[in-house]
């Protein structure tokens, strides 16, 4: 058993190491370009030729040789994308459209709006610099260049460069399979609903995994262990909820101690400190044990478990200002604080037809303002002026929040903070 990391950075490193172990044993297949999003590339993509293969016009206009000015005779015809234009006679111009290859002898494009055509001649005012409105040969990709490395999780935008390179499909890893299992007698007997499994299954699928909801088991260590073992035999990962707290009824920790090598435990994060990740060597499966309360399960999954499925992806942030003071408990941990963008007029966002319109999208000059979720000034009131992570952990209404920040000290009104929009960690 390795030492269990206590920092978010160490936990992420451990999850990425486990991801590498899973992918190394995962089969491969072929994916067409309309199906590559979320798939992990199995073989690096290397360019066979320069792209573009010839310098191209980036605007409609006239292909010319740099340095010429004044009047130029206009050659017959128009160069279109995919055509093979004849060479340009010195001192002349030829019509080109966006994306068309430049004729030999031309190295610049004069936009239509910057030229005047009279009696078959083109007038250009002033000298034309070389490269003006031109995408140079090899400027996007050079022959022999590794364009996308193996192991990368592909995004929709990758399809464009793959098509540009002449690829119809690529070799990818099979999707990781994950089973979601709820633990808790109160859930298993129907006295309480399972508030986590559907959310986690949706997250896992958005992260590129094949997720299956595996039902529930009561708080019995033998039955939990048996069910985990059954699921581990057929899945790359088993994600459980519940059974991670300090109470005597919590059993998942005991199961882990008997059956797995713990890689992550005791991360100083609230909500989410109960998360445990372990390696089941017998089946080559990762066991991710999340807290049961819905807010804690979501925070733990998006902050701690996500790298196992998406790899080393930075969490993009939005700079915002805190709309009110917020005291946090005096503990040596980091607090995950969900936030809402403040209403329009306070530098934040407004609700339009149920959708939020962010200030940084609509063009407001000031950074958006955020209100801590659960604060008296937010749409859901869970606490007073002091943050209560356990109350947030138990709240299933995170749909009212827009993102989160991580704090290790009190927050002051007007303070600049980095907010992670939920859209960032849900993909």
**Whether the Cβ atoms of residue 102 and residue 118 lie closer than 8 Å to each other:** no
The two structure tokens encoding residue 335:
């607090």
What are 15-24's pLDDT values in tens digits? Answer: 999 999 999 9
Q: For 221-243, what is the mean pLDDT?
A: 94
Q: Find tokens 């000015």 and name the residue.
A: 69
Q: Identify the pLDDT of residue 272.
A: 86
What is the model's pLDDT at position 405?
A: 97
pLDDT tens per residue across span 288-339? 999 999 999 999 999 999 999 999 878 899 999 999 999 999 988 999 999 9
Q: What is the pTM of this model?
A: 0.85
pLDDT in the model for residue 248: 35
CATH architecture of 36-50+144-173: Alpha-Beta Complex (3.90)
How far apart are the C-alpha atoms of 368 and 223, rounded to whole Å? 49
- Tell me the domain boundaries of the chain: 8-26+175-310, 36-50+144-173, 56-135, 318-344+365-424
- Same CATH fold, 56-135 and 8-26+175-310? no
CB 133 within 8 A of CB 143: no
Q: What is the CATH number of domain 56-135?
A: 2.170.190.11
**Non-local CB neighbours of 64 within 8 Å, separated by 6+ positions:** 72, 88, 93, 106, 108, 109, 110, 122, 124, 128
Q: State the alpha helices, DSSP H only, in 268-387.
A: 294-300, 306-310, 359-362
Would you say 225 and 258 are in contact if contact means Cβ atoms under 8 Å apart?
yes
Least confident of 30-39, 216-225, 380-389, 403-412: 216-225
Question: What is the per-residue pLDDT across 159-198, written as a single tens digit (0 to 9) for each?
Answer: 999 999 999 999 999 999 999 999 999 999 999 999 999 9
- Tell me what the mean pLDDT of segment 407-421 comes to: 97
Please tell me the predicted confidence (pLDDT) of residue 364: 53
What's the CATH number for 8-26+175-310? 3.40.980.10
Q: Quote the pLDDT of residue 356.
A: 54
User: Percent of the chain having pLDDT more than 70?
Assistant: 89
What distances in angstroms separate CA 201 from CA 38, 184, 241, one per listed residue?
15, 18, 12
Which token pair is 282? 């017998």
Contact 393, 295 (CB under 8 A): yes
With left for phi above 0 and alpha for psi between -120 and 50, is residue 371 left, alpha or beta? Answer: beta
Provide the pLDDT confidence category of residue 353 given band limits of 50, 70 and 90. Answer: very low
Domain at 318-344+365-424: CATH code: 2.40.340
CB atoms within 10 A of CB 202: 12
pLDDT in tens, 95-146: 999 999 999 999 999 999 999 999 999 998 888 999 999 999 999 999 999 9
């Amino acid at each position: 058993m390795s030492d269990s990391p206590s920092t978010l950075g160490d936990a992420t490193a451990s999850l990425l190491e486990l991801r590498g172990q899973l992918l190394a044993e995962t089969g491969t297949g072929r994916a067409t370009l309309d199906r590559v999003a979320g798939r992990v590339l199995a073989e690096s993509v290397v360019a066979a030729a320069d792209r573009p293969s010839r310098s191209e016009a980036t605007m409609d206009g006239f292909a010319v040789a740099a340095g010429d000015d004044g009047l130029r005779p206009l050659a017959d015809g128009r160069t279109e994308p995919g055509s093979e234009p004849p060479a340009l006679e010195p001192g002349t111009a030829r019509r080109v459209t966006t994306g068309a290859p430049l004729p030999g002898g031309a190295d610049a494009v004069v936009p239509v709006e910057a030229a005047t055509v009279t009696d078959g001649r083109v007038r250009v005012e002033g000298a034309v610099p070389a490269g003006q409105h031109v995408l140079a040969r090899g400027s996007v990709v050079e022959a022999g260049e590794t364009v996308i490395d193996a192991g990368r999780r592909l995004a929709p935008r990758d399809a464009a460069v793959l098509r540009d390179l002449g690829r119809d499909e690529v070799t990818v890893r099979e999707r990781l399979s994950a089973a979601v299992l709820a633990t808790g007698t109160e859930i298993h007997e129907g006295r309480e609903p399972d508030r986590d499994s559907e959310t986690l299954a949706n997250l896992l699928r958005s992260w590129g995994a094949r997720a299956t909801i595996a039902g529930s088991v009561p708080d019995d260590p033998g039955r939990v262990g048996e069910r985990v073992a059954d699921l581990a035999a057929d899945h790359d990962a088993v994600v459980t909820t519940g059974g991670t707290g300090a109470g005597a009824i919590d059993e998942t920790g005991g199961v882990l101690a008997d059956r797995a090598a713990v890689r992550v435990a005791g991360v100083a994060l609230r909500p989410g400190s109960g998360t445990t990740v372990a390696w089941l060597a017998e089946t080559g499966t990762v066991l991710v044990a999340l807290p049961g309360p819905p807010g804690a399960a979501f925070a733990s999954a998006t902050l701690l478990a996500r790298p196992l499925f998406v790899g080393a992806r930075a969490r993009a942030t939005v700079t915002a200002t805190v709309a009110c003071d917020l005291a946090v408990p005096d503990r040596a941990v980091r607090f995950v604080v969900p936030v809402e963008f403040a209403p329009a007029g306070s530098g934040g966002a407004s609700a339009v037809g149920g959708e939020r319109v962010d200030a940084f999208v609509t063009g407001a000059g000031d950074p958006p303002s955020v209100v801590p979720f659960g604060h008296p000034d937010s749409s859901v009131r869970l606490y007073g002026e002091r943050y209560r992570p356990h109350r947030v952990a138990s709240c299933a209404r995170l749909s009212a929040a827009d993102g989160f920040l991580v704090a290790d000290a009190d927050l002051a009104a007007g303070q600049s903070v980095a907010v992670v929009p939920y859209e960032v960690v849900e993909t």
